Structure 1
Amino acid sequence: MGTCSDGGTDAGLSTGTGTGTGDEVDGSGGAHDAPVLAPIPGALIARSGARTAAALLGELSDRLRGLGAVTPGFRDAVIAREESYPTGLPTVIGTAIPHTDPEHVRVPGVAVATLAAPVEFRQMGAPAQTVAVRLVVMLVLDADGLHTQPLRLQRLIGRLQDEAAVTEVLAAHDDADLTARVSGWLAGGA
């Protein structure tokens, strides 16, 4: 894991294929030992109509701000970080994992959005390329969560490789349904 010039981190994520369980990641306990990423109640948006990456990041950030989960500066910080360090992943179903620095976080967890139509995000590690994203998992990590960030990201990447499970998440028809599906998916169920 390297440090970005903005002080953030780049976990050096791989989007290579595996079993899709996240259990194939190992090295310091393995991804199966990583803490489960928990959705922040009220911070899930099913079938967002956003048409750009910035609009979607703004929508999720505003939802988080309304819940008191992030500071007023979170929105601008996450959009700026995405511009400098893109998070689009060419997983089996295009996904983005935007995040920013922990000083903007009051309540840690994840915010999740599915999209009514794919939105282009620049690709992590290859910013000249884009990914048609259908799922966004915004990491909302505080300073206490930074030491487990690499394992959390590895586990998330493993879950994103499970096409059937991601397709099930994308089928959510409203925010409550999305919350239930995401909770099970991130915990390792379908």
Structure 2
Amino acid sequence: MAGAKSMQGLGGLMVFVLAATLSPGGATTLATASGMNFGYRRSLPLIVGISLGLACMAAAGSAGVESIFVAVPALRSAVKVGGTLYLLWLAFQLARTGAPKATGPAAEPTGIAGGAWLVLYNPKGWAMTTGAAASFSPVATDPAEVAVILGIVFGCFAWLSLSVWCLGGQMLRRALTRNWQWRALNLLLALLLVASILPIWIG
């Protein structure tokens, strides 16, 4: 009976995480833009960084790390400000990008550390993973095991979802034949990236 309950909880967790990671946001926008500008292979460090960051966040969330932000509001505000500045910088870099150059120094895609920071700075992400830990704790009886399961599920599904968005961007790349098209789409993605900041400050 306990095993069946655990499996049911695991199924619910997977559905929840798939919906959460597939939904549009800052990470998916950046993955799409990276796939469009650099292709899937060169975007892998970004995808790995975001996936690892979310996995660590989910594991730590099950340990109640979100309570630190509640206890120290100044820390939450500092993380918000730092994350907002980082996203604005990424949006600025994206907005001024045109078609990839065949020769000369090429721009570099966001790396593993940048991808991880994109996730870890977001207090709402901590609240989401902590809520997931509370809601799906029946997946295991040992708290450490719950943390491992949450980390694996969030990390794997983030990789899957971001790969879908990144490959979509790579496919879109083939339709862009003029420099103004690249600039227009990069500007649109930059604006979406800026828009993804609003939920961090609202609510």
Which structure has greater strand proportion?
1
Higher relative contact order (CA 8 A, sep 6+): 2
Give the structure-1-normalised TM-score. 0.31
Larger CA Rg, structure 1 vs 2: 2
